[in-house]
């Protein structure tokens, strides 16, 4: 399926509204008692800036001996960014990376021409069970970089800038916002921020980007006089002033950036500006031409029927 970035409203009441679109996630069961809230892509809005995929993972509690098991699977044409509020995930990929991510840190994986990775609970963590809660997002690479060499970068929590405003603690995960720039190297122009708001906080969205959104993880906020509870993404009208007013202690993810440089096709885990490139990736995965993941070579997720 091929999608163009949504156009800004032209005139009338829609253009006057601060919130242009409200997206309600769809629950997706990934098996093993693990489910996600799938926010992007949605029928109402396929992308926000270069963000083409956005999942809230959990919160979920694992039974003793259990854990997360996302078997090896491929990506092309995108970067994945994983950010946790709670728990731990062991990332392995076909570059030979093995890295645990914990709350407040960032895993940024650029797929480029192709990469394979798995996400699991480490064996030593399973006896105690535990909980997991976080966000995984995908960023579509610019056309000129879709076939770049794959790479992986881990940024510990203490390396991320944490600007503050009255009643608000902000972590700049990627890009630039609130006068701070994250160390994560990103190709498209974007911003991605974790905002923790005290009840009564009134925070302006300080970023010049044309496409902007906020996902309410928990709590409740008011924008443009309207109240929004947890589990919704608010896509803001371009060039409108945006203020987040927290009705209660709230956690909100702020994201966006420049519109994508043309339409993108997304099928399963593959993103590209060229539909024929998606077909090639599907054939390569079926034929096992992708590289394998060291220390996690025994399993793989097959291409879904109909993909």
> In sequence order, what are the residues at sequence separation of 6 or more whose Cβ sits closer than 8 angstroms to the Cβ of residue 288?
none
Give residue-wise pLDDT tens across range 66-79. 999 999 999 999 99
pLDDT value at 254 more than 70:
yes
pLDDT value at 230 more than 70:
yes
Q: What pLDDT, on the 0 to 100 scale, is given for residue 33?
A: 64
Q: In the chain, what percentage of residues exceed pLDDT 70?
A: 93
Q: Which of 27-41, 147-161, 258-272 has the lowest mean pLDDT?
A: 27-41
| Position 285 confidence tier, pLDDT thresholds 50, 70, 90 | very high
> In sequence order, what are the residues at sequence separation of 6 or more whose Cβ sits closer than 8 angstroms to the Cβ of residue 294?
92, 94, 96, 98
| Position 29 confidence tier, pLDDT thresholds 50, 70, 90 | confident
Other beta carbons within 10 Å of 48: 31
Q: CA 243, 104, 83, 159 torsion: positive or negative?
A: positive
Q: What pLDDT, on the 0 to 100 scale, is given for residue 307?
A: 84
pLDDT value at 268 more than 90:
yes
Q: What pLDDT, on the 0 to 100 scale, is given for residue 71?
A: 95
Q: Looking at the DSSP assignment, which residues form a beta bridge with residue 112? A: none
Let me know: does 278 contact 265? Beta carbons within 8 Å. Answer: yes
pLDDT value at 6 more than 50:
no
Q: In 5-129, at which residue ranges do the beta strands (DSSP E only) sit? A: 19-23, 26-31, 34-40, 51-62, 69-75, 78-86, 89-93, 98-101, 106-110, 115-120
- Is pLDDT larger for residue 30 or for residue 215? 215
| Position 187 confidence tier, pLDDT thresholds 50, 70, 90 | confident
Q: What pLDDT, on the 0 to 100 scale, is given for residue 13?
A: 46
| Position 83 confidence tier, pLDDT thresholds 50, 70, 90 | very high
Nearest alpha carbon to residue 141 among 186, 181, 91, 184:
186
What are the counts of helices (DSSP H) followed by strands (DSSP E) for the chain? Answer: 2, 26
Let me know: does 89 contact 68? Beta carbons within 8 Å. Answer: yes
What average pLDDT score do residues 264-270 get? 96
Instruction: Tell me how far apart the 2 most distant CA atoms of the chain are, in Å.
Output: 58
Let me know: does 106 contact 83? Beta carbons within 8 Å. Answer: yes
| Position 174 confidence tier, pLDDT thresholds 50, 70, 90 | very high
pLDDT value at 209 more than 70:
yes
Q: What pLDDT, on the 0 to 100 scale, is given for residue 9?
A: 38
Q: In the chain, what percentage of residues exceed pLDDT 90?
A: 87
Stated length of the chain: 307
- The most confident of the ranges 224-228, 239-243, 282-286 is 282-286
pLDDT value at 7 more than 70:
no
User: How far is residue 284's CA from residue 266's CA, in Å, rounded to a whole number?
Assistant: 16
Q: What pLDDT, on the 0 to 100 scale, is given for residue 31?
A: 61
Give residue-wise pLDDT tens across range 102-156. 999 999 999 999 999 999 999 999 999 899 999 999 999 999 999 999 999 999 9
| Position 196 confidence tier, pLDDT thresholds 50, 70, 90 | very high
Q: What pLDDT, on the 0 to 100 scale, is given for residue 28?
A: 84
Average pLDDT, rounded, for the chain: 92
CB crowding 204-213: b at 16 or more within 10 Å, else e: ebbbebbbbb
Other beta carbons within 10 Å of 44: 13
């Amino acid at each position: 399926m091929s999608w163009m970035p949504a156009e800004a409203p032209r005139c009338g009441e829609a253009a006057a509204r601060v919130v242009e679109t409200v997206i309600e996630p769809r629950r997706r069961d990934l098996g093993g008692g693990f489910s996600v809230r799938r926010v992007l892509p949605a029928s109402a809005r396929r992308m926000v800036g270069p963000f083409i995929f956005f999942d809230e993972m959990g919160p979920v509690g694992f039974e003793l001996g259990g854990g997360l098991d996302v078997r090896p699977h491929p990506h092309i044409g995108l970067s994945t960014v994983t950010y946790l509020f709670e728990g731990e995930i062991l990332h392995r990929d076909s570059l030979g990376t093995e890295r645990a991510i914990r709350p407040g840190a960032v895993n940024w994986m650029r797929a480029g021409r192709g990469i394979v990775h798995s996400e699991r609970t480490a064996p030593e963590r399973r006896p105690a069970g535990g909980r997991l809660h976080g966000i995984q997002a995908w960023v579509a690479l610019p056309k000129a970089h879709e076939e770049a060499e794959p790479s992986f970068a881990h940024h510990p929590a203490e390396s991320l800038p944490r600007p503050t405003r009255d009643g608000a603690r902000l972590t700049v995960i990627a890009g630039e916002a609130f006068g701070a720039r994250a160390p994560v190297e990103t190709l498209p122009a974007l911003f991605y921020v974790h905002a923790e708001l005290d009840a009564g906080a009134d925070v302006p969205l300080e970023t010049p980007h044309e496409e902007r959104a906020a996902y309410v993880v928990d709590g409740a906020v008011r924008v443009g006089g309207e109240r929004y509870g947890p589990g919704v993404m608010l896509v803001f009208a371009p060039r409108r002033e945006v203020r987040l007013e927290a009705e209660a202690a709230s956690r909100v993810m702020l994201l966006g950036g420049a519109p994508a440089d043309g339409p993108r096709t997304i099928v399963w885990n593959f993103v590209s500006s060229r539909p024929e490139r998606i077909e090639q990736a599907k054939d390569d995965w079926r034929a096992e031409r992708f590289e394998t993941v060291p220390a996690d070579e025994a399993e793989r997720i097959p291409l879904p029927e109909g993909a």
